[in-house]
Structure 1
């Protein structure tokens, strides 16, 4: 989850590292630090909390030096204090690390027994000590790293800086992403292309187990067996201007309002509007025609996008879907074979549990598809087929436009699967595609309700708990609404299938409990509204999210109603996600929480 950057430059490194870390702060913001070589010696500046605290430290005590490493941390081992902030140092070695060293306690005991004094509570510090010990025994930095890496168990990306070595960085990856950036007489290391975007668009991604010896003239890359290898250089499409909020107060607000545009881009990629058909290049590799089931795996909001898609695949393609949270799937020894197809969904394309699940399925011969927002990511590179969302970089930790663009891609895949399986008639496909073409304009209309949503969010900010209810595809949206509210406002919230209300949650209902009911007027509207009436009978404070007919039919049961335009069933989950996002956003704003960087969270979950 942490962000890493390393620079071998021709001007002072510290200001450039800070610039890069600003683009990586979505990966973690518990602490931050930078180390440079000043007259050959490692000098560090570290600060607890947000990156601006490190900037203040550097203003008071600037760092010179053209070689350096930097880090923004999401805390795993050890509290988010200055002493636990990266970079860590042992003798002549300084290190920044993303991941978890699982055997660090054993290594720590060994180091302490050898007489070393450890200064932190982290797992990372042992790496610096082990390499420093090896160098003290006469090994070169390169030899010491090659000696130590096989001893590290777990997932990690490392960038290492060495005293007296002005022209050397060493990076390594196992389970966590790391890339090499190529400049003109300069070289870089970074967690991803966003980190490197201020400096270069020429990127080499290290593969699993790789480590790289980087100098200003280039990089030598070795695999996990220490064989020298050649990895391809690619051009990144990420630009260095991604951190601009424009006229919005928060990145999340900007990204919510970008959805009409990015949904339009994504839909046009996957649908042929003139022929009114889904057009998913490479989807044939997923073998939809002959499948007896489709496996879908993801985490967090991406999992909820997959849960919506389950309804679509089963309805429009008559294809059974087995969906699971990746952290559960990877450990339950699911039977998977060569006749299976598995689909993995991840905004970052680096989610550790999702990547581990992908590798499990690949080892067992399944065809692999990936829906990602970062085409250069590890999940994308390891999948058989990649279906990129065209959401653009998402900086806010709480996913918004990535979620709706994932839904757009999944809708296209479901319709193509239905056509390939012969269960979706051309006429029905044409009708559904025509309905999906309206998504951008419907999204604009939904965003036009923001002022009303902001008003109803103010009293919600005083609540301690909230409940979200929905049926069919609105059930995953209820889960998503509760997740967003928890993430942003820290209000405890739960999402439930509306039909489960009487099986326990109804005991929570009183006049202080806000209950959000997601119920467009569809074939199960009356069932959902009957559940809403049960809430009303017990004094619950109801917010109904529906359409014009739904608002007319519900009577006076709801205290507040968000009225969306009429739309088809396949469109509704995409559009109804927008008011759910706005409710969480404005509630958090009223409460004064950090909307873009909620406490304890990070954007890219690259550790278990």
Structure 2
């Protein structure tokens, strides 16, 4: 989830680019860079780390010119470094590219280009794009870009410059966002509207499979096949603060709505469309090592721990390997039993969680192979782990995690299926069946988000209560633990999550007239038993909201007070949909109580102390 910006016109290009990157830095802060047409030709400046590092570098050696492109990076391919920073150039230094997205087939393209004599200096997938464009250039940059695109698979938003045609800026969108800003005697590109809002409020939003050719005086829109497009310009009425949130009231709500994209991005390049199998080329674990795994320990904190609870059900169900879950802050102090045949999976959104990092080192000291699931490529946990599965949720701004958690679920689904493939515990048909259902998840979440008002109404009802309960069985129990945590951390309402079958062993004493109880009912193998538990709650006066599939809604309404229906998926995948409803519940309850949704009291985004 990188940020790109571009400008062509008579203003100080460097200033415009830096200003745009400041508005986009929330999309990535591993490195930043710009390329500008100067009197000396196409010049580049870039630096690892925050944008301030690039500004310091430019302070004594500014790039003055009339056109340029800029980039702020969220690392996916290649660690954060100066070499891996964008913009990237070809060997001739005449073509420059910034890119947001992932090129799935970059390794095979890189090998092809190397065989043709090309030399690469970075580990990124983006560098191959500049080389492809240079190879295809025959005097027309637009045609060269169009030709290069035909070789690429994946997601990309591109800004392209060539010294051969310094009066053109080419932009392309395929599955990654891109906006074209229209000014007077100047034009702009940006990943988001905030990048250009200071300079213009007139924009075109590119759709997938479209491109734009910008000069200082004109913007031409066309398909990537070259067919010209006529489109009405949009005039943006948002203020700058609202624009940074994409028009949403809070970053948390924006990030909830970004989950379908996060799902797609995390799956991108990891599902082979032809064989219908999971491919994880980034893993160092050999097939022999995987077959010899005797047990797995999943270690994490907070929301990441809750993702690990889902990971346990997924791995045990698909790969038939026994799994334990550990709170990272307790792991080192219980003398864990670890052998060389133990796989330890550490989960951390930031990759800097102190307790989880300490647990990682403890596991390695005892001879375990450690796999990290994290959202940050260059983090301490990513560097220290033996293997890394990167989730591609992009940066989260809100303290309460939403899309990072759900992307961790996608990583666990992929890894569980991969283990099953190697160990032969699922047939090819069974794996293909689950993968097909996974690929439908983004659209199903989008469908459910369209019904958010129903959850909002219920959240406003419970906002006046001091206590409430969540219940569920099987994987639903793991999901409601995350739902309860979300509600507590941003609404400050006391809530508890229980395995529905455990109510009669003490918790029923807390049920009284009118107390809200949210029951998650998606595991059909225990549906009747969960309904029986719901009736126990109703008999004591509880007010029950059931979250279930549409096909069960009418029947459940005989036993509960309200029902919220979610799209149907496989039981093993239900968490990826049902948790979104619980995130919305927490968000709207906090909103109703007037709390700071994005910055709840006493909490920080990344916990870097024990």
TM-score, with length taken from structure 2: 0.62
Determine if the alignment matches structure 1 residue 280 to structure 2 residue 280: yes
**1:279 to partner: Cα distance:** 1.5
| Correspondence for 2:300 | 298
**1:511 to partner: Cα distance:** 2.1
Q: Is the 8 A contact 1:521 1:549 kept in 2?
A: no
**1:521 to partner: Cα distance:** 5.4
**Residues 606 and 291 from structure 1, CA distance in 2 versus in 1: closer, same or farther, beyond 3 angstroms?**
same
Q: Is the 8 A contact 2:556 2:563 kept in 1?
A: no
Query: Residues of 1 paired with 2:424 and 2:123: CA distance?
Result: 39
SS in 2 for 1:269: coil
Query: Residues of 1 paired with 2:362 and 2:125: CA distance?
Result: 28
Q: Is the 8 A contact 2:350 2:379 kept in 1?
A: yes
| Correspondence for 1:244 | 244
| Correspondence for 2:264 | 264
Structure 2 stretches lacking a partner, 5+ long: 1-17, 30-48, 61-71, 85-120, 127-190, 196-242
Q: Is the 8 A contact 1:489 1:591 kept in 2?
A: yes
Determine if the alignment matches structure 1 residue 184 to structure 2 residue 186: no
TM alignment of 1:442-457, pairs within 5 A: 442-457=444-459
Q: Is the 8 A contact 2:474 2:523 kept in 1?
A: no
Query: Residues of 2 paired with 1:270 and 1:235: CA distance?
Result: 17
| Correspondence for 1:500 | 502
Query: Residues of 1 paired with 2:368 and 2:254: CA distance?
Result: 38
TM alignment of 1:205-220, pairs within 5 A: none
Query: Residues of 2 paired with 1:564 and 1:252: CA distance?
Result: 21
Query: Residues of 2 paired with 1:179 and 1:381: CA distance?
Result: 22
**1:551 to partner: Cα distance:** 1.3
**1:359 to partner: Cα distance:** 0.8
Among candidates 364, 367, 384, match of residue 366 of structure 2: 364
**1:583 to partner: Cα distance:** 0.3
TM-score, with length taken from structure 1: 0.62
Query: Residues of 2 paired with 1:425 and 1:405: CA distance?
Result: 25
| Correspondence for 2:183 | none
**Residues 539 and 335 from structure 1, CA distance in 2 versus in 1: closer, same or farther, beyond 3 angstroms?**
same
| Correspondence for 1:331 | 333
Q: Is the 8 A contact 1:454 1:583 kept in 2?
A: yes
| Correspondence for 2:485 | 483
TM alignment of 1:39-54, pairs within 5 A: none
Q: Root-mean-square deviation (CA), in Å?
A: 3.3
| Correspondence for 2:348 | 346
Q: Is the 8 A contact 1:180 1:203 kept in 2?
A: no
| Residues 505-514 or 575-584, more deviating | 505-514
Query: Residues of 2 paired with 1:508 and 1:303: CA distance?
Result: 26
Q: Is the 8 A contact 2:473 2:523 kept in 1?
A: no
Cα deviations by residue, 1:472-526 (Å, 9 ceiling, x for unpaired): 1111111011100000100000111111111111111112311000002511111
| Correspondence for 1:461 | 463
**1:281 to partner: Cα distance:** 2.0
**Residues 203 and 179 from structure 1, CA distance in 2 versus in 1: closer, same or farther, beyond 3 angstroms?**
farther
Query: Residues of 2 paired with 1:350 and 1:391: CA distance?
Result: 16
TM alignment of 1:429-440, pairs within 5 A: 429-440=431-442
**Residues 293 and 435 from structure 1, CA distance in 2 versus in 1: closer, same or farther, beyond 3 angstroms?**
same
TM alignment of 1:49-448, pairs within 5 A: 181=53, 183-184=56-57, 244-283=244-283, 285=285, 287-448=289-450
| Residues 554-563 or 393-402, more deviating | 554-563
Q: Is the 8 A contact 1:291 1:340 kept in 2?
A: yes
* Alignment: residue pair count: 408
Query: Residues of 2 paired with 1:391 and 1:282: CA distance?
Result: 18
| Correspondence for 2:560 | 558
Cα deviations by residue, 1:85-142 (Å, 9 ceiling, x for unpaired): xxxxxxxxxxxxxxxxxxxxxxxxxxxxxxxxxxxxxxxxxxxxxxxxxxxxxxxxxx
**Residues 298 and 204 from structure 1, CA distance in 2 versus in 1: closer, same or farther, beyond 3 angstroms?**
farther
**1:274 to partner: Cα distance:** 3.2
Q: Is the 8 A contact 2:26 2:395 kept in 1?
A: no
**1:341 to partner: Cα distance:** 1.4
Query: Residues of 1 paired with 2:447 and 2:366: CA distance?
Result: 46
Q: Is the 8 A contact 2:295 2:341 kept in 1?
A: no
**Residues 452 and 549 from structure 1, CA distance in 2 versus in 1: closer, same or farther, beyond 3 angstroms?**
same
Q: Is the 8 A contact 2:475 2:523 kept in 1?
A: no
| Correspondence for 1:528 | 530
SS in 1 for 2:244: coil
Q: Is the 8 A contact 1:368 1:385 kept in 2?
A: yes
**Residues 508 and 470 from structure 1, CA distance in 2 versus in 1: closer, same or farther, beyond 3 angstroms?**
same
| Residues 503-512 or 459-468, more deviating | 503-512
| Correspondence for 1:95 | none
**Residues 280 and 502 from structure 1, CA distance in 2 versus in 1: closer, same or farther, beyond 3 angstroms?**
same
Cα deviations by residue, 1:50-106 (Å, 9 ceiling, x for unpaired): xxxxxxxxxxxxxxxxxxxxxxxxxxxxxxxxxxxxxxxxxxxxxxxxxxxxxxxxx
SS in 2 for 1:429: helix
**1:236 to partner: Cα distance:** 13
**Residues 483 and 204 from structure 1, CA distance in 2 versus in 1: closer, same or farther, beyond 3 angstroms?**
farther
Query: Residues of 2 paired with 1:436 and 1:508: CA distance?
Result: 38
Q: Is the 8 A contact 2:531 2:559 kept in 1?
A: no
| Correspondence for 2:36 | none
Determine if the alignment matches structure 1 residue 581 to structure 2 residue 583: yes
Query: Residues of 2 paired with 1:195 and 1:571: CA distance?
Result: 28
Cα deviations by residue, 1:559-597 (Å, 9 ceiling, x for unpaired): 111011221112211010110000000010000001000
Query: Residues of 2 paired with 1:477 and 1:320: CA distance?
Result: 20
**1:364 to partner: Cα distance:** 1.9
SS in 1 for 2:412: helix
SS in 1 for 2:572: coil
Among candidates 590, 600, 603, match of residue 602 of structure 2: 600
